[in-house]
């Protein structure tokens, strides 16, 4: 199985960070419709599943609602700052001298972004019964999951330091053996 390369993970991390910031201008929350009174009818099956299917359809397709910048207030700026921190960390991972700093910024920025997006997905600002999700929040959590996945892969990549290859230098030959003639007999022919 082929895996994505280092540069691809960096590019996907930056793209996910851009998508998260762009989704803040899309609708994140809208007022939940009032539940109709329960009127049992003959042959009519109404239950919680019908309301869930209608709600999910509104989450994905309904264009009305309040944008992330307006609904989250100052929290939207915090989320954008965490996302920018992760994107800067991804860019720093490309430079071998700054890779160790970029790893930490990318790792912690992406984790904080996905935690923040999940928190706002599960707990909207204000009363939970009055608001329901819209597609901006769903796209943001998907992009945050992509950011943390690709960011962790980028941060776990081996160091990209340039190692200069050393040229091979043969060792010096050993000195010729020195024979000592002291204490030995002369050759037989002398």
pLDDT tens digits along 112-157: 999 999 998 888 887 777 778 888 888 999 999 999 999 999 888 8
**Token pair belonging to 147:** 């950011």
Position of tokens 């009055």? Answer: 130
Q: Which residue has the higher pLDDT, 68 or 59?
A: 68
Residue % of the chain over a pLDDT of 90? 35
Output the CA torsion sign for 92, 98, 99, 104. negative
Q: β-strands 66-67, 131-133: how paired?
A: unpaired
**Token pair belonging to 43:** 């042959």
The whole-angstrom separation of Cα 105 and Cα 127 is 34
Q: Where are the domains of the chain?
A: 6-32+49-155
Structure confidence at residue 107 as a pLDDT band (50, 70, 90): very high
* pLDDT (average), residues 52-58: 68
Beta bridge partners of 30: 132
Q: Tell me, what's the pLDDT at 121?
A: 85
Q: Which residue has the higher pLDDT, 45 or 159?
A: 159
- With the CA atoms of 127, 128, 130 and 136 taken in that order, what torsion angle do they form, in degrees rounded to the nearest 10? 120
Q: Tell me, what's the pLDDT at 1?
A: 44
Could you give the angle at which helices 74-92 and 99-122 cross, rounded to 10 degrees?
A: 150
Measured CA to CA in angstroms, residue 7 lies from 18, 73, 104, 106, 159 at distances of 17, 34, 17, 14, 13
The whole-angstrom separation of Cα 60 and Cα 58 is 5
The whole-angstrom separation of Cα 122 and Cα 128 is 9
Q: Tell me, what's the pLDDT at 44?
A: 55
- Which among 146, 85, 91, 80 has a CA at the least distance from the CA of 116? 80
* pLDDT (average), residues 22-27: 91
């Amino acid at each position: 199985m082929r895996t994505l390369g280092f540069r691809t993970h960096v590019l996907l991390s930056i793209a996910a960070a851009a998508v998260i910031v762009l989704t803040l201008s899309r609708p994140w929350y809208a007022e939940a419709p009032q539940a109709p009174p329960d009127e049992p009818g003959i042959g009519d099956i109404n239950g919680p599943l019908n309301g869930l299917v209608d709600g999910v359809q509104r989450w994905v397709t309904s264009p009305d609602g309040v944008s992330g910048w307006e609904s989250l207030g100052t929290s939207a700026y915090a989320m954008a700052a965490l996302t920018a921190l992760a994107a800067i960390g991804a860019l720093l991972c490309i430079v071998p001298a700054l890779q160790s700093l970029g790893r930490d910024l990318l790792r912690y920025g992406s984790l904080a972004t996905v935690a923040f997006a999940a928190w706002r997905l599960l707990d909207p600002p204000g009363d939970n019964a009055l608001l329901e999700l819209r597609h901006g929040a769903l796209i943001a959590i998907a992009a945050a999951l992509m950011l943390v996945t690709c960011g962790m892969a980028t941060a776990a990549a081996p160091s990209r330091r340039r190692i200069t290859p050393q040229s091979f230098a043969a060792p010096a030959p050993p000195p010729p053996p020195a024979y000592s003639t002291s204490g030995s007999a002369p050759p037989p022919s002398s």
